[in-house]
Amino acid sequence: MPPKPASTRRQRLQVDRALVAVAAFHRRFDPRAALAADPLRFAHRYADPDDRALVALLSALMAFGRIATIGQKLEDLCLRLGPRPAMVLRDDDRAALHERLRGFKHRTFRGADVADLLFALGEDLRREGRVLAALERAWDEHHELRAALGQWVHGLRAAAWPGGADRAQSHLLPDPSGPSASKRLMLFLRWVVRRSGVDLGLSSIPASALLMPVDVHVHRIARNLGFTARTDASWRTAEEITAALRGLSADDPVQYDFALCHLGISGRCPSSNKLPERCEGCALRTVCVHWR
């Protein structure tokens, strides 16, 4: 076998060093403190697994824009859906859901579109008995994340918008077969699949199948650490970052997402080395492209 090029060996060495630093960073991270500022906190308010799964899905889909605004919008949605949101889905018809969501808006997401999506989820719930049953059935058929997620999303879209989804509806419930990293869907999966830390452990899908939710923060930090050189927040980029993190945990590579994304959300990670005071004390500093 020919020797590996020096650049590849250097990249491998950098990734190995960065993984050691990420493991130390992750050990020191306090997930309970970060949960207080995270959209996942809304699902933790409920005891029933279907309520948790439903609120987790809405929280992930609304996780777009300023973190304070996302919290306000989720507070509003939770009030509209009452103490047992999954029961509302079982009982309300499409017109009743539209009435509940009347006047709701978050960026491009309209109350009527959210109501249609809730109606589709309610159809699933009445037919299958659980919010996540159709997604898990798709996983059992495909044993491949993108195909399973695609089948679930296409089924929901067909029930929500039988005439086809318009631009805003397609943005509300993205199609994972497209090139994007589908960050909000990956975030939802992390929350409902992983069984430790703050995540909810509601699904039989294995954590080893998950991909990192790649938002602007995770993408930037992963580039800083050498986990990817790609400049687009694409599915391929999510695969590269996840593949690097499998070097730490093949069974659960996305366990590092919460710590890494909150480094970005907190505003402590600058996008360059022009604010060196913010990097003081960062456990990733020795392996970060701005300082190594």
Which residues would be at the binding site for ligand SF4 (CB under 6 A)? 221, 224, 268-270, 278-279, 282, 284-285, 288, 290-291
Q: Please identify, using beta-carbon distances, which residue of 96 and 275 lies nearer to ligand SF4.
A: 275
Q: Which amino acid is at 94?
A: R
Ramachandran region, residue 129 (left: φ > 0; alpha: ψ -120 to 50; beta: rest):
left
Q: Please identify, using beta-carbon distances, which residue of 265 and 282 lies nearer to ligand SF4.
A: 282
In the complex, minimum distance from the CB of residue 279 to ligand SF4, in angstroms, rounded to a whole number? 3
In the complex, minimum distance from the CB of residue 288 to ligand SF4, in angstroms, rounded to a whole number? 3
Q: Please identify, using beta-carbon distances, which residue of 112 and 279 lies nearer to ligand SF4.
A: 279
In the complex, minimum distance from the CB of residue 274 to ligand SF4, in angstroms, rounded to a whole number? 10
Q: Residue 247 burial by CB count (10 A; 0-12/13-18/19+): exposed, middle or buried?
A: middle
In the complex, minimum distance from the CB of residue 280 to ligand SF4, in angstroms, rounded to a whole number? 9
In the complex, minimum distance from the CB of residue 226 to ligand SF4, in angstroms, rounded to a whole number? 11
Q: Please identify, using beta-carbon distances, which residue of 62 and 284 lies nearer to ligand SF4.
A: 284
In the complex, minimum distance from the CB of residue 196 to ligand SF4, in angstroms, rounded to a whole number? 24
In the complex, minimum distance from the CB of residue 220 to ligand SF4, in angstroms, rounded to a whole number? 8
The CA–CA distances, whole Å, from 30 to 52, 138, 164, 279 equal 22, 34, 43, 18
Q: Please identify, using beta-carbon distances, which residue of 246 and 278 lies nearer to ligand SF4.
A: 278
Range 199-202 contact pairs with CB under 8 angstroms and sequence separation of 24 or more: 199/40, 199/258, 200/43, 200/44, 200/52, 200/53, 200/56, 202/49, 202/52, 202/53, 202/56, 202/132
Q: Please identify, using beta-carbon distances, which residue of 231 and 250 lies nearer to ligand SF4.
A: 231
Q: Please identify, using beta-carbon distances, which residue of 203 and 224 lies nearer to ligand SF4.
A: 224
Going by C-alpha positions, the residue among 40, 39, 45 that lies closest to residue 65 is 39
Give the span between the Cα atoms of 48 and 268, in whole angstroms: 35
Q: Please identify, using beta-carbon distances, which residue of 107 and 223 lies nearer to ligand SF4.
A: 223
- Give the torsion sign (CA, 19, 24, 25, 31): positive
In the complex, minimum distance from the CB of residue 231 to ligand SF4, in angstroms, rounded to a whole number? 17
Give the span between the Cα atoms of 253 and 237, in whole angstroms: 14
DSSP track, 152-211: HHHHHHHHH-TT---HHHHHHS--TTSSB--HHHHHHHHHHH--STT------S-GGG--
Give the span between the Cα atoms of 279 and 124, in whole angstroms: 47
Q: How many residues does the chain have?
A: 292
First to last CA, the chain: 31
